[in-house]
Amino acid sequence: MADAVASDVRVSTARRPTGARAFLRRKEMIAFFFALPLILIVLTLVIYPAFYALHLATLNKSMQHFVGLGNFTFLFKRNTFWMVVEQSVLFAVTAVMFKAVIGFIVAHFVHNIPQKGQRKWRGMLLIPWVIPPAMSTLAWLWLFDPSYSAFNWVLTHIGLDGIPWLGNPYWARFGVILVNVWVGSPFFMIMYLAALKSVPEQLHEAAAIDGASWFQKIWYVNLPMMRNIIQITALFSLIVTFANFDIVKILTNGGPVDQTHVFATWSFTLGIWGNDLPLGASVSLFMFPILAIAATLILRNVRKRGNEA
């Protein structure tokens, strides 16, 4: 029977080559036309440059000669490169972890208070995310100022020594992470709050009847229900943090002695300031594997979410 039906279809399409199919093709044409600007932008400004970066990385500084993997072998021999790798990973992983934890905690506090007050608190807590990071980092730079640090003023007034915030490599690393956490945790808070709101209240009531404590409710009810959002948010943030530029650029510009450089700032320093575009491109390409892994995981999570809905 199925065969008969299939052959039927073929016969009838052969008989009417125009018609409905032409109409549908017209619809597809319109659809394609609507998507064309997007396709062009993505192709010329994202896909093509991404591949061009690969090509660029194989050229010498004046971009006249093909040097193969020369830029990479050069990088591998430099200590600064390995320092940047280490700092990029440390920076991204630590910052994302703190952002996730702070976001989770603050989201629960906001969720705890009465509904009508939540808007106000949420509104204030999101402000770091709204301010352009370049602008707010300037405020942090001023707070960390070696001679006039407002933090050190407080510290000396309570009898402690002032801290060389951006002068000492370890404190400088702490500083860039702190600012990143400050900028990013509100985003986590908002995402987690949205996820918390979607946990049905009945589940909490059921858990309460089953005798769950406050902590157990979070651990056994909220956390599993929010797991997907937690993962997606953390992966998103991992990508953004790993590729971060503004904060490090303004706060330390990589210093002291290149200790706080991440891939983005170092490639900028080499490529734009040092006028060695191929070397800069080579450095930035090292972001790619981690971005690809995170992107794959996100895609899987988002798809899973789509299926659940």
Partner 1 sequence: MAQVALRKIVKMFEKTPAVQGIDLDIADREFIVLVGPSGCGKSTTLRMIAGLEEASSGEIYIGDQLVNDVPPKDRDIAMVFQNYALYPHMTVFENMSFGLRLRKFPKPEIKERVDSAARILDITDLLQRQPKQLSGGQRQRVAMGRAIVRNPKVFLFDEPLSNLDAKLRVQMRTEIKKVHQKVTTTTVYVTHDQIEAMTLADRVVVMNHGRIEQIGTPHEVYHNPTTHFVAGFIGSPAMNFLPCQLTENGNGLSVRVSDKLTFPVPQERLARYRPHAGRELLFGLRPEDIIERRGEPEPGRAAFEVQLEVVEPMGMETMVYFVVDGVEVCGRVNPNAARNAGEIMPLVADLNHMHLIDPRTDLVL
Partner 2 sequence: MTTATAQIGGAGGAVRYGSMARANKRALRWSYFFLTLFVIFFLMPPIYMFITSLKTSAEIGAVTNPWWVYNPTLENYTTLLTQKSFLTFFKNSAIVSVLVVSVTMVVSVLAAFSLARMRFWGSATLATGVFLTYLVPETLLFIPLFKIFATFHDYTGIALINHWWVLIVLYPTLTVPFCTWIMIGYFSSIPKELDEAALIDGASYFQILTKVFIPVALPGIIAAMIFCFTVSWAQFLYPLAFTTSEDQLVLPVGIVTTLIKGDVYNWGQIMTGALLGAAPPLIIYAFLMDYYIAGLTAGATKG
By CB under 8 A, the residues from 17 to 56 that bind partner 1 are 18-24
Window 265 to 294, contacts with partner 2 (CB under 8 A): 267-268, 271-272, 277, 280-281, 284-285, 287-288, 291, 294
Q: With binding defined as CB under 8 A, does residue 8 bind partner 1?
A: yes
For residue 31, the minimal CB distance to partner 1 (Å) is 15
Task: Tell me which residue of 47, 182, 202, 205 sits closest to 125, measured CA to CA.
Answer: 182
- Let me know: does 256 contact 166? Beta carbons within 8 Å: yes
For residue 12, the minimal CB distance to partner 1 (Å) is 4
Q: Rounded CA gap, 97 and 37, in Å?
A: 38
Residue placing its CB nearer to partner 2 in the complex, 7 or 121: 121
Can you tell me which of 23, 76, 82, 109 binds partner 2, judged by CB under 8 A?
109
How many residues contact partner 2, by CB under 8 A?
97
For residue 84, the minimal CB distance to partner 2 (Å) is 13
What stretches of the chain show up as alpha helix (H) in DSSP? Answer: 2-15, 20-42, 48-56, 70-76, 79-112, 115-125, 127-130, 133-143, 150-157, 169-197, 201-209, 214-217, 223-242, 246-251, 263-268, 277-285, 287-308
Encoded tokens for 233: 């948010």
Window 186 to 205, contacts with partner 2 (CB under 8 A): 186-187, 190-191, 194
Q: With binding defined as CB under 8 A, does residue 6 bind partner 2?
A: no
Single-letter code of the amino acid located at 67: V
- Let me know: does 266 contact 244? Beta carbons within 8 Å: no
For residue 13, the minimal CB distance to partner 1 (Å) is 8
What is the longest distance spanned by two Cα atoms in the chain? 93
Window 214 to 253, contacts with partner 2 (CB under 8 A): 214, 229, 232-233, 236, 239-240, 243-246, 249-250
